[in-house]
Amino acid sequence: MKDRFNLYRFASPATFYPLAGALIPWFVAVSVVFGLAGLWLGMLVAPTDFQQGEGYRIIFIHVPASWMSMFIYLVMAGWAAIGLAFNTRLSGMMAQALAPTGALMAFLSLWTGALWGKPMWGAWWVWDARLTSELILLFLYIGYMALTAAIDDVKRADKAGGLLLLVGVVNIPIIYFSVKWWNTLHQGSSVNLTKSSMAETMLWGMLLMAMCFWMYAIAVALMRVRTIMLERERHTDWVKAELAGGEK
């Protein structure tokens, strides 16, 4: 009998758990490689910006952190939609595992933005559409975590959290297009699919850092989801076998 490869098999925690465990070191390694290459290009090679001097180098973490804060939210909302539609166990765990990392990315986006805004605009913070909508994103993450933590029944927590995620998803295009729709102090996007206003080395440094952040987020979320799986599936045979097998 031939065992056919089936992707849906990995939607089951019992098969996803060891797969995630095997993948984590690879994501960590790739993240480190991208990070070193990005820092080398961005911090050592890239030229001075003609308008912002060396202060622009904050871009190499500000943009990746901001992108990830939006992207992680979209992924969580995607898992929420799958969870609400098909009642899959894995989706709630994935959303739960991604939330703290997404919140940290939103925080870093605001933090590095403040440190960038002060020397360039003369203000740590302004109630501008871009900044305000990013702050709302941070509150959405915190709200999701608080809401799911407050409901004891896991299934109901996932449902309520999923609804919050789906309602809050309107905020993502608002963040992204805010610099187009409104007159913001925040500068327009430096990169889009058709053109870039940046020097080659700056652009590559930023993209490499974005890849570093992306791989980092995957690695941490996989670490977290494995713990959540053990916790939630503790009454199943596979977790009992895992625990009895001396899992560190």
Contact footprint for another protein (CB under 8 A): 43-48, 53-55, 57-58, 61-62, 65, 100-101, 104, 107-108, 111-112, 115-116, 118-119, 216, 219-220, 223-224, 226-227, 230-231, 234, 239-240, 243-244, 247-248
CA distance 188 to 241: 54
Nearest distance in Å: CB 113, another protein: 9
Least spacing, CB of residue 137 vs another protein, in Å: 17
Q: Output the smallest distance, CB 81 to another protein, in A.
A: 26
Token pair belonging to 199: 């020097």
Q: Closer CB to another protein, residue 107 or residue 139?
A: 107
What CA–CA distance (Å, rounded) separates 189 from 192?
A: 7
Nearer to another protein, 79 or 216 (CB): 216
CB of 167 to another protein, least distance (A): 27
Q: Contact 121/145 with Cβ under 8 angstroms?
A: no
User: What's 122's DSSP letter?
Assistant: S
Residue 73: count of CB within 10 angstroms of its CB: 26
- Residue (130 or 224) nearer to another protein, CB: 224
Q: What is the DSSP letter of 2?
A: -
Nearest CB to another protein, comparing residues 82 and 98? 98
With respect to another protein, which residue has the nearer C-beta, 63 or 82? Answer: 63
Count of alpha carbons within 13 Å of 190, Cβ hemisphere only?
18
The DSSP code for 126 is -
In the complex, the smallest distance separating the C-beta of residue 160 from another protein, rounded to whole angstroms, is 23
Q: List the one residue out of 99, 77, 113, 88 whose CA is nearest residue 10.
A: 88
Cβ 66 to another protein, closest distance in Å? 12
Q: Is residue 190 a contact partner of residue 59, using CB atoms and an 8 Å limit?
A: yes
* Nearer residue to another protein within complex by CB, 165 or 219: 219
Q: Which is nearer to another protein, 81 or 203 (CB)?
A: 203
In angstroms, the CA 79 to CA 77 distance is 5
Distance in Å, CB of 82 to another protein, minimum:
24
Contact 209, 39 (CB under 8 A): yes
d(CA 66, CA 140): 15
Strand segments, DSSP code E, in 117-156 are none
